[in-house]
């Protein structure tokens, strides 16, 4: 089959993936703490084709015919483009005032809250930027601090945060300490566990606006996640950092790239048609 | 004999290969650091056509036939795509705002065909060159290409950045926790010596002039921009135009081939028809 058709169709498939990423970003424009992703291309394999070599041709005649060959022997034919990687852009989103005591926004890049998730392999720590927390009553007269999906938020000691439920009010200080008011007396009863993603490329999306470490991350070593002294602001939510105009521009670009490849296929197809008409 | 049969076919094949090159360029119109390829066509070696005849010289015991050869002219028996020449020119910059994206900008270069590259190490541990500065930091904290190949410093060692937070100055020095690591930037006086490989990597060709450290060369200037990538230098409008051109050339060769076929048909069906 015509190689250019394979190249173009491979590339179209990859461009589709880029459109998927853009679509996902646009869909999450209003998700608190969502971090946009960016996809970049890389060229695919090059194939060395040993076409007619210059050896064997009389040197003098060769000099006359092609005196200035610029590149090494053979020709190199590429096989299209592929999506290289999808980078998370962990930059800060805008802050939105909500005046709700349990809405907390992180104020520095790369910092994350920790959540406890029960999986088939036991408990796992997930990470999120989304700070819309809730208190869920437990059966034993305790209240559990959870995220919107009911997953326990981890404290500085790596344990879920619980309070006795006879409180009059609570507020979250700038350093992440949780002040609980009981009978007019305020006391720090817990501390939010805030970590910093040192190498965010080792985080994979776990759905529901959460990240988890990739399976090979523990082999790779430490230093991917570090404890951080975070700065938080309560009564505030971090909005998504998706830049709609940039996403739309990227989408237009991807669509045109798709069209170029499609046009290349149809041109190649017409060339194939001409070949088939040879024997009519 | 019909000499042009295979000539026309070779024209079709060469144009098809040209189409492959153009299609690959269009596919990589948005690949950072990609350099577009230009196909060059070349005629097959020239043949001299000679008329073979004989003249008869009268002698006493009959005639003597002497062979004579008269040169008619030259004929090229077709065309092939001789080489794909990458167009080494600076691509435009696109801002990404991601700190691991680096764009290499050529300054003044002493040679006309000179070009600058980042040094990277491929999976076999060999030194390779790339213009694709869409880098990332791997799980161990090394600066790598998007394929996971180490980006090298000027001493040929991988660069440990720890995390995503580092600054790269204009002259290509990575500042990590107070340490200054100069990025490995290579300069080639003749960029056409390099062979394109996959993933945007270039390897030195067989008879390549060795690449030198760009910082040690005379009169070589460059600039590194952090948070930018260099865009592909493919011009889609030009590529589409060339594609149309290639298509028509292919079509013309097909017409010629069909004309030859019709001549052949006459040979088969009309010559030596009796009655």
Whether pLDDT at A62 is above 60:
no
**Distant-in-sequence, close-in-space partners of B178: CB < 8 Å, separation ≥ 6:** none
The answer on pLDDT for B255 being more than 80 is yes
- Report whether pLDDT(A128) > 80: yes
Q: What is the pLDDT of residues A148-165, one digit of tens each?
A: 888 888 888 878 888 887
Low-confidence winner among A127-131, A214-218, B211-215 (lowest mean pLDDT): A214-218
Domain ranges of chain B: 2-48+74-84+235-274, 93-230
- In A, residues 7-46, which contact B (CB 8 Å cutoff)? 7-8, 10-11, 38, 40-46
Nearest residue in B to A110, CA atom: B164
Residues 6+ apart with CB under 8 A from A89: A35, A36, A37, A38, A241, B97, B98
Structure-token match 């005591």, residue found: A101
* Average pLDDT of the residues in B125-130: 90
Mean pLDDT value across residues A204-229? 71
Are B19 and A91 within 8 A, CB to CB?
no
* Predicted confidence (pLDDT) per residue in A225-242, tens digit: 666 677 888 888 888 888
pLDDT reported for residue B275: 65
Instruction: Please give the Cα distance from B184 to B24 (Å, whole number).
Output: 29
Size of interface A-B (CB pairs under 8 A): 208
Q: Is A1 on the interface with B (CB under 8 A)?
A: no
User: Is residue A115 very low, low, confident or very high in pLDDT (cuts 50, 70, 90)?
Assistant: confident
pLDDT for A251 equals: 92
Q: What integer pLDDT is reported at residue B241 of this predicted model?
A: 94
CB A133 within 8 A of CB A153: yes
Question: Is the ipTM here above 0.95?
Answer: no
Each residue's pLDDT tens digit, A35-57: 888 888 888 888 887 766 555 45
Interface of A with B in 39-78 (CB under 8 A): 40-46, 48, 51-52, 57, 61, 65-66, 69-73, 75-78
Sign of CA dihedral A138, A141, A144, A149: positive
Beta-bridged to residue B94, according to DSSP, are B229
List, in order, residues 6 or more apart from B270 with CB less than 8 Å away.
none
Q: Between residues 188 and 227 of chain B, which touch chain A (CB distance below 8 Å)? A: 192-193, 195-200, 205-208
Helix axes B5-27, A244-277, angle to 10 degrees: 170
Judged against a pLDDT cut of 90, whether residue A104 lies above it is answered with: no
Calculate mean pLDDT across residues A251-257: 92
Greatest mean pLDDT among A95-99, A199-203, B236-240 lies in B236-240
Question: For the residues B12-32, what does the mean pLDDT come to?
Answer: 91
pTM of the model: 0.82
pLDDT at A20 > cutoff 70 = yes
> For all residues of chain A together, what is the average pLDDT?
82
Instruction: List the structure tokens of A72.
Output: 């090494």
Which among A174-188, A207-221, A264-278 has the top mean pLDDT?
A264-278
Rounded-to-integer distance, Cα A198 and Cα A109, Å:
10
Residues 78..97 of B with a Cβ closer than 8 Å to A: which? 80-86, 96-97
Confidence grade of residue A262 (pLDDT, cut at 50, 70, 90): very high
Taking only the tens place, the pLDDT of each residue in B39-49 is: 888 777 777 78
Question: A126 pLDDT band (50/70/90 cuts)?
Answer: confident
Residue B1 CB contacts under 8 Å (≥ 6 apart), including other chains: none
Q: Do B139 and A199 touch (CB under 8 A)?
A: yes
Q: Do A271 and B19 touch (CB under 8 A)?
A: yes
**pLDDT value at residue B243:** 93
Structural contact between residues A35 and A128, judged by C-beta atoms closer than 8 angstroms: no
CB < 8 Å to B22, chain A = 4, 264
Mean pLDDT for the stretch of residues B141-169: 86
* Percent above pLDDT 90 for chain B: 22
Question: Taking a contact as any Cβ pair under 8 Å apart, which residues of chain B between 14 and 43 contact chain A?
Answer: 15-17, 19-24, 26-32, 34, 37, 39, 42-43
* Closest residue to A41, CB basis, from B31, B85, B86: B31
CA distance to partner chain B, nearest, from residue A167 (Å): 41
Q: Which of A1-10, A63-72, A263-272 has the lowest mean pLDDT?
A: A63-72
User: Per-residue pLDDT for A100 more than 70?
Assistant: yes
CB distance B199–A42 less than 8 Å?
A: yes
Q: For A218, which residue in chain B has the nearest alpha carbon?
A: B139
């Amino acid at each position: 089959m015509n190689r250019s058709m394979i190249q173009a169709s491979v590339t179209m498939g990859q461009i589709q993936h880029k459109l998927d990423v853009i679509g996902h970003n646009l869909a999450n424009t209003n998700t608190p703490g969502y971090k946009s992703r960016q996809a970049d291309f890389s060229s695919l394999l090059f194939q060395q084709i040993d076409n007619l070599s210059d050896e064997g041709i009389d040197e003098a005649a060769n000099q006359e015919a092609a005196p200035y060959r610029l590149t090494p022997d053979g020709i190199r034919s590429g096989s299209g483009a592929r999506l290289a990687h999808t980078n998370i852009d962990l930059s800060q989103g805008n802050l939105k005032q909500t005046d709700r005591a349990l809405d907390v926004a992180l104020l520095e890049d790369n910092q994350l809250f920790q959540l406890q998730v029960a999986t088939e392999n036991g408990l796992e720590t997930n990470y999120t930027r989304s700070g819309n927390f809730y208190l869920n009553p437990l059966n034993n007269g305790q209240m559990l601090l959870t995220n919107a999906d009911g997953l326990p938020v981890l404290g500085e000691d790596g344990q879920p945060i619980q309070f006795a439920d006879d409180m009059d009010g609570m507020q979250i200080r700038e350093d992440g300490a949780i002040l609980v008011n009981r009978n007019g007396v305020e006391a720090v009863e817990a501390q939010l566990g805030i970590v910093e993603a040192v190498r965010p490329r080792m985080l994979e999306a776990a759905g529901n606006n959460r990240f988890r470490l990739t399976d090979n991350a523990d082999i790779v070593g430490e230093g991917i996640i570090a404890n951080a002294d975070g700065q938080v602001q309560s009564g505030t939510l971090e909005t998504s950092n998706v830049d709609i105009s940039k996403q739309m521009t990227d989408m237009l670009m991807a669509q045109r790239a798709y069209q170029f490849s499609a046009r290349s296929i149809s041109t190649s197809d017409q060339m194939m048609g001409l070949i088939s008409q040879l024997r009519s | 004999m019909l000499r042009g049969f295979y000539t026309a076919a070779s024209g079709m094949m060469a144009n098809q290969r040209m189409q492959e090159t153009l299609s690959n360029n269009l596919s990589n119109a948005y690949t950072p650091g990609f350099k577009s390829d230009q196909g060059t066509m070349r005629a097959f070696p020239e043949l001299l056509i000679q008329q073979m005849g004989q003249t008869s010289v009268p002698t006493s015991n009959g005639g003597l036939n002497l062979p004579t050869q008269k040169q008619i002219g030259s004929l090229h028996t077709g065309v092939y795509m001789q080489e794909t020449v990458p167009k080494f020119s600076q691509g435009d910059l696109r801002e990404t705002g991601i700190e691991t994206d680096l764009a290499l900008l050529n300054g003044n270069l002493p040679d006309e065909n000179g070009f600058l590259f980042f040094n990277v190490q491929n999976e076999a541990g060999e030194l390779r060159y790339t213009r694709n500065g869409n880098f990332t930091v791997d799980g161990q904290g090394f600066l790598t290409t998007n394929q996971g190949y180490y980006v090298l410093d000027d001493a040929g060692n991988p660069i440990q950045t720890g995390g995503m937070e580092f600054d790269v100055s204009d002259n290509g020095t990575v500042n990590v926790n107070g340490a200054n690591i100069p990025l490995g930037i290579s300069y080639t006086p003749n960029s056409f010596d390099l062979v394109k490989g996959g993933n945007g990597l270039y390897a030195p060709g067989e008879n390549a002039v060795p690449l030198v450290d760009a910082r040690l060369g005379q009169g070589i200037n460059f600039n590194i921009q952090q948070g930018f990538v260099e865009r592909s230098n493919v011009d889609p409008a030009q590529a589409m135009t060339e594609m149309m051109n290639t298509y028509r050339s292919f079509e013309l060769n097909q017409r010629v081939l069909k004309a030859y076929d019709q001549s052949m048909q006459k040979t088969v069906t009309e010559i030596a028809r009796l009655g």
